[in-house]
Structures are given as structure tokens and as C-alpha cells.
């Protein structure tokens, strides 16, 4: 280790604004940022490049801290975990997920009511000491485990969490580095710069090679279905959320932020920070990191992972650990609780009943989550969502406007992809019929036609200009007769256009007449060089996301776009009078042009039958 680290000396720089920090991060690996001081470790060539950019770089004189009594190194930890397993055999299961560079076990502690069984419950992960010189995370985890176990028989709310979750702790992720109080592992690699970067670039260690510790955690996580995770660090007091590598927000930004805030609120010192707003920060906005555990975790597995800095001092006096525990136990419990938010259930073959390797997509968010064993847990805020379940060789199952309130259960059945014939009838000619989000086909029907459809559950959309757009559901197995009753529709159309620069633009359509409508159709046509997100704001205050981070959108939503980009405009009706606002956001901030319009229609009657 000594020979490798000799090539990478530690330096510090003074900066005046955040832009300088991001510029530094493009050149050299940032270890930490404290106020206006940036600490980096790099080669002579990297430091010279910084100086050519105009930065003043100073050598940082490193001193090795003296070891303190009370902290658990690898050997003390192993002894402690052996005792823990004996004391709580019905609640604790201790095992190794792999070995470090120098052959030390990477211990995992599972706490649950049936710890040796794999139960259909949300899974949570806590990781300590990814940096060997920040052992405060190990001590927090051990104290929290001990408290969970002692509270189990005394506090019903703790017993419920332990019984209904599978809680995994990795107390000492970097045992080799910790033994010599080094940030790095035995190969001189920063493990929190060694995970695959979402954009495919090399990590902050400058390579694509995975260290044994990193590979062990990746392989271990692939066998699990973690939904929330925290990795504990020392050196600051803040909850850091992804992305670390990019200035963009994650697709789950609102959810990610609210859970981070829930943790910070439980820690008054963190929440009332004078450096970080409410004790939380977007990773890249603090300082860029390439190859972090939290970025890999969310991008690759869907597990929302937080970097939680729990002490201003990396290696605080051991007698401060009980206070650090008291400050963080509430946040850790919040993470365990919120692992049950959203929707969970199973995905099975509708005919054979076996579990399927599936993907769950939430249209409004745009982030796929794996369900490798047919068991899924998707953390979501309360609301209505379009859920799409898919598996190779099966017809996708779509749930539109699916209500999620707290802990919501859903068991999904997918039909094997097999084309069957059904009879379709319409009362008028020239009706265009599609299936929504299942890509099973598109047909023009004149009166009566037999069509080939993938068996399974479908949302059918029937449209014709001047007629009510008909949308409803039918489970198709072959031989069904599907009738669409198309009714004329009186319409009023308003059109507008606007251009915008930067990341966001908006435009308004003012409806001055008292127009009562039963159906709204939205026209959208964009010319932009990067994906847009579009929102429609109604006169009465509703906000409707039409689509998220898409490009090439052109047409009327209900007649042409809806089958691939469902929005909540289907539920709108009432008075059209007032101000309608279109807001677009450009991912890359390079502006664009938009043509848009509103079509209000009066419709009545029943529209659909399936027999």
C-alpha cells in the first residue's frame, strides 16, 4: 500500500465558488470539501495541470492519528459478531459476502425475525467504513444493531420493523485500510471511487478494474432486492444524495430528496446546518465524485443509496460515539420505515403460476427497476402512477392511474406472448385502434374486422378526428368480440407557440369563454436538440406531466401520442375558462421551440364493451 500511495500525495486548494470545485473534479480525485477548502490526492502530472489552469495548490502534511481504545477493528469486530450470533440466534445471521485484498472476511449482519430465510420483505442496507480512516460508521452500526435487538421485545414499533423488513449491515467494508487507518484498501484504491460510473466513464481511481471489496458488494447486491441504503462517513454532517457524477437530478428526485430530508430532520445538528440547506445536499452540487457506491447502487439496481456524513471529525474520540448514535438512530429508523413506502408484490405467469424475471417501470418517473425473482418493491410517494410490468416472452401488463397510498400490494399476472384473433366492431368507418404501452399492434377498422392481438390484458384506444376518443380495458385470450361505440364530438381548438433559451420555458393560452368540456386533447410539437419534459397547468391549479425526458414528440395526445406517452389529461373535465400554462424543461439547457394546442370537446354516452 505504501508504495502505491506514494505516487498520490495529498494537497489542498482554496476556492471562491462551486464552479471551481467542479473544474478541479474533472482533473483530480477530490477526497473532501470543507467550506472553501478542497482536499485532493493526485499525481504530479495532475497537480501540474491544476496549476496550469491557474489554481494555487498546496501540499497537505499528513499525520497518522493514534489508534483509540474502544473502536472495533477487524479482529474485535469478528469476536463481537460471534457473540452477537450466539446471543440472538432467532434474530441475527452473520455471514461473509467475500474477502478483502488481504483475505479478511467482509462480514454481513442480517437482522430479521427469520434471519436465515429469504422472505418476501423490503430489504435495507447499511454500510460502514468504506474509507478505513472513517471508522465512526462501524461504531454507529454496531450500536444500532445492539439497540434494535434489545428494543425488539420492548418496543412494538421496533418489533414490527424487524419482523416486516430484512435489514442488512456491512459494518466494516474496508477492513484492510481500517487496520492501518488508511482511507484506501490494501491496493491503495479509494473504494468509493471504484464502482462503475453510470455514464460508462472510469471511476475516480482512473480505472475500470474492480477491487475485491467492490466486486463482493456488487455480487452480493445482485442476489438481493435492496430498496434503500445508507453508507456512513466521517468528515462532515450532511445527507448526500445522488447523483455524485452528474449535475442532473435522478428520475426519482422528489422521492430521493424527501427521504434524505426525513433522515436529516431526525438529527437536529444536521438539519440546522449552516453549510447545507436543511442538512442535505445533491452530491455533484457539493463536489463531483466518479465511481461512488450511491451512484452505482441507484443506477444499476434501483436501490436509493445515501452517503451520510455523521461526524465533523473522521475519527472522533470514542466517548463521543453514544452521542453520534443518539443523533442518527432516528434517521436510520426512518430509512427502515420508508423501505415499505410504495408498491410491492409479485409477477407470475398467468397460466402456469410460476414466478417471472421481470422489470417494473413507472412511466411518470422513467426509471426501470428489476424484479429478478418475480418479487418487487418499488418505493414511491403517495399518488397515481402508470405502472408497466414486462418480462421476456410475455405481453406487458399496464396499470394506468394506479393509486399508491403508503404500503400498497399488487400481484401481477403476465400472459405468454401469443397472437390470438378477436373481432372488433365500430359504428363508423376509418377508426384507428391501438393498444396503450404494450405495442401489440395498430389497426384501421371499417365497421367490423378480425385482428391479431397478443393475448393478455390491454388498454385499447380507439380514435377518429371529430369523434370521442375511447379508452378502456379488456383481457384477451382469443375469440372475444370488442365493440367501440364512436360518438361525434363538438370541439373548440386553441393553438399557440413559443421559443425558449436555457433549461426552461413556458407559454399561456387564455380561454375567456365559458366552455364546458368532457374531454381534453393536447397538441404538442417540439424542436429541441435534447430531451424535454412537459407539464400542463390547469386554471384550477392541477399540474399534469405529459411526458418526461422524451424527444421527437409530435401530435395530439389522445389520438396519436397517448398509446406511448400516457398522461392524466384523460381525467380532466369541467369548465375550460381561465389560464392554461405549458411548461417545458430541457435536460441539457440548450432551449428549443414548441407548438402546442388545446382541443376541448363535449361527449356523452357509454363507449366500450368486451365480451
| Residues designated as active site | 309
Q: In terms of DSSP H, where are the helices of 39-155?
A: 44-52, 74-87, 136-151
Helix (H) or strand (E) holding 413: strand 407-414
Query: Are 557 and 608 in contact, with CB atoms under 8 Å apart?
Result: no
Instruction: Specify the pairing of strand 481-484 against strand 608-610.
Output: antiparallel
Q: Measured between alpha carbons, how far is 520 from 598 in angstroms, rounded to an integer? A: 7
Residue labelled with grid coordinates 434501483 = 302
Dihedral Cα 78, 84, 89, 90, nearest 10 deg:
-120
Q: In terms of DSSP H, where are the helices of 17-171?
A: 18-25, 44-52, 74-87, 136-151, 156-164
Q: Measured between alpha carbons, how far is 61 from 55 in angstroms, rounded to an integer? A: 19
Query: Are 128 and 107 in contact, with CB atoms under 8 Å apart?
Result: no
Query: Are 324 and 267 in contact, with CB atoms under 8 Å apart?
Result: no
φ/ψ of 360, rounded to 5, equals: -110, 130
Indicate if the alpha-carbon torsion angle 15, 21, 26, 27 is positive or negative. Answer: positive
Residues 6+ apart with CB under 8 A from 218: 195, 210, 296
Q: Measured between alpha carbons, how far is 421 from 110 in angstroms, rounded to an integer? A: 51
Helix (H) or strand (E) holding 99: strand 92-99
Q: Measured between alpha carbons, how far is 273 from 264 in angstroms, rounded to an integer? A: 10
Q: In terms of DSSP H, where are the helices of 272-385?
A: 283-286, 293-296, 321-338
Using N-to-C axis directions, what is the helix angle for 253-265 and 321-338, rounded to 10°? 140
Residue labelled with grid coordinates 418476501 = 120
Q: How far apart are the first and last CA of the chain?
A: 72
| 253, 417, 426 from 364: Cα distances, Å | 12, 26, 32
Q: Measured between alpha carbons, how far is 35 from 608 in angstroms, rounded to an integer? A: 63
Helix (H) or strand (E) holding 220: helix 212-222
C-alpha cell at position 365? 418517473
Over the range 302-316, which residues count as b (16 or more CB within 10 Å of their CB) and which as e? Answer: bbbbbbbbbbeebbb
Indicate if the alpha-carbon torsion angle 159, 161, 163, 166 is positive or negative. Answer: negative
Q: Measured between alpha carbons, how far is 6 from 262 in angstroms, rounded to an integer? A: 41
Q: Measured between alpha carbons, how far is 313 from 331 in angstroms, rounded to an integer? A: 19
Residue labelled with grid coordinates 442476489 = 223
Amino acid at each position: 500500500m505504501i508504495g502505491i500511495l506514494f505516487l498520490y500525495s495529498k494537497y489542498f486548494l482554496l476556492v471562491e465558488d462551486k464552479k471551481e470545485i467542479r473544474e478541479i473534479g474533472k482533473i483530480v480525485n477530490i477526497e473532501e470539501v470543507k467550506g472553501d477548502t478542497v482536499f485532493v490526492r493526485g499525481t504530479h502530472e495532475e497537480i501540474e495541470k491544476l496549476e496550469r489552469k491557474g489554481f494555487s495548490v498546496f501540499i497537505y502534511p499528513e499525520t497518522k492519528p493514534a489508534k483509540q481504545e474502544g473502536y472495533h477493528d477487524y479482529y474485535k469486530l469478528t469476536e463481537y459478531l460471534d457473540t452477537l450470533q450466539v446471543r440472538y440466534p432467532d434474530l441475527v445471521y452473520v455471514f461473509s459476502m467475500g474477502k478483502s485484498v488481504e483475505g479478511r472476511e467482509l462480514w454481513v449482519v442480517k437482522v430479521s425475525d427469520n434471519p436465515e430465510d429469504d422472505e418476501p420483505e423490503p430489504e435495507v442496507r447499511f454500510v460502514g467504513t468504506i474509507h478505513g480512516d472513517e471508522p465512526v460508521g462501524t461504531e454507529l452500526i454496531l450500536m444500532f444493531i445492539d439497540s434494535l435487538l434489545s428494543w425488539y421485545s420492548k418496543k412494538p414499533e421496533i418489533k414490527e420493523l424487524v419482523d416486516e423488513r430484512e435489514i442488512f449491515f456491512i459494518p466494516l467494508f474496508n477492513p484492510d485500510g481500517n487496520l492501518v487507518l488508511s482511507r484506501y484498501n490494501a491496493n491503495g484504491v479509494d473504494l468509493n471511487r471504484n464502482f462503475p460510473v453510470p455514464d460508462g466513464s472510469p471511476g475516480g481511481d482512473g480505472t475500470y478494474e474492480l477491487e475485491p471489496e467492490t466486486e463482493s458488494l456488487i455480487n452480493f447486491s445482485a442476489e438481493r432486492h435492496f430498496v434503500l441504503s445508507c453508507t456512513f462517513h466521517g468528515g462532515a454532517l450532511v445527507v448526500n444524495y445522488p447523483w455524485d457524477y452528474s449535475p442532473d437530478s435522478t428520475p426519482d428526485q422528489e422521492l430521493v430528496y424527501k427521504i434524505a430530508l426525513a433522515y436529516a430532520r431526525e438529527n437536529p445538528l444536521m438539519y440546522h446546518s449552516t453549510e447545507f440547506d436543511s442538512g442535505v445536499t445533491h452530491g455533484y452540487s457539493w463536489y463531483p465524485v466518479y465511481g461512488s457506491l450511491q451512484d452505482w447502487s441507484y443506477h444499476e439496481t434501483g436501490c436509493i443509496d445515501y452517503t451520510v456524513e455523521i461526524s465533523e471529525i473522521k475519527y472522533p474520540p470514542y466517548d463521543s460515539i453514544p452521542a453520534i448514535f443518539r443523533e442518527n438512530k432516528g434517521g436510520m429508523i426512518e430509512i427502515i420505515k420508508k423501505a415499505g413506502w410504495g408498491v410491492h408484490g409479485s409477477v407470475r405467469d398467468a397460466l402456469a403460476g410460476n414466478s417471472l424475471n421481470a422489470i417494473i417501470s413507472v412511466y411518470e418517473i422513467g426509471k426501470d427497476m428489476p424484479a429478478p425473482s418475480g418479487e418487487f418493491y418499488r418505493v414511491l410517494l403517495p399518488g397515481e402512477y402508470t405502472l408497466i410490468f414486462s418480462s421476456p416472452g410475455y405481453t406487458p401488463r399496464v396499470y394506468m392511474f394506479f393509486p399508491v397510498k403508503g404500503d400498497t400490494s399488487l400481484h401481477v399476472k403476465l400472459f405468454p406472448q401469443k397472437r390470438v384473433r378477436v373481432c372488433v366492431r365500430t359504428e363508423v368507418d376509418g377508426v384507428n385502434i391501438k393498444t396503450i404501452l404494450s405495442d401489440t399492434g395498430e389497426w384501421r377498422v371499417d365497421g367490423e374486422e378480425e385482428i391479431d392481438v397478443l393475448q393478455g390484458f390491454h388498454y385499447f384506444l380507439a380514435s377518429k378526428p371529430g369523434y370521442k376518443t375511447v379508452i378502456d380495458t379488456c383481457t384477451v385470450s382469443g375469440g372475444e368480440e370488442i365493440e367501440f361505440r364512436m360518438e361525434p364530438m363538438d370541439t373548440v381548438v386553441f393553438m399557440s407557440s413559443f421559443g425558449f433559451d436555457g433549461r426552461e420555458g413556458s407559454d399561456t393560452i387564455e380561454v375567456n369563454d365559458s366552455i364546458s368540456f368532457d374531454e381534453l386533447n393536447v397538441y404538442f410539437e417540439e424542436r429541441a436538440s435534447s430531451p424535454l419534459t412537459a407539464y400542463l397547468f390547469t386554471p384550477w391549479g392541477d399540474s399534469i406531466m405529459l411526458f418526461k425526458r422524451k424527444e421527437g414528440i409530435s401530435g395530439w395526445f389522445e389520438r396519436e401520442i397517448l398509446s406511448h406517452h400516457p398522461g392524466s389529461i384523460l381525467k380532466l373535465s369541467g369548465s375550460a375558462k381561465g389560464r392554461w400554462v405549458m411548461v417545458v424543461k430541457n435536460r441539457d439547457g440548450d432551449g428549443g421551440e414548441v407548438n402546442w394546442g388545446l382541443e376541448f370537446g363535449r361527449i356523452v354516452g357509454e363507449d366500450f364493451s368486451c365480451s
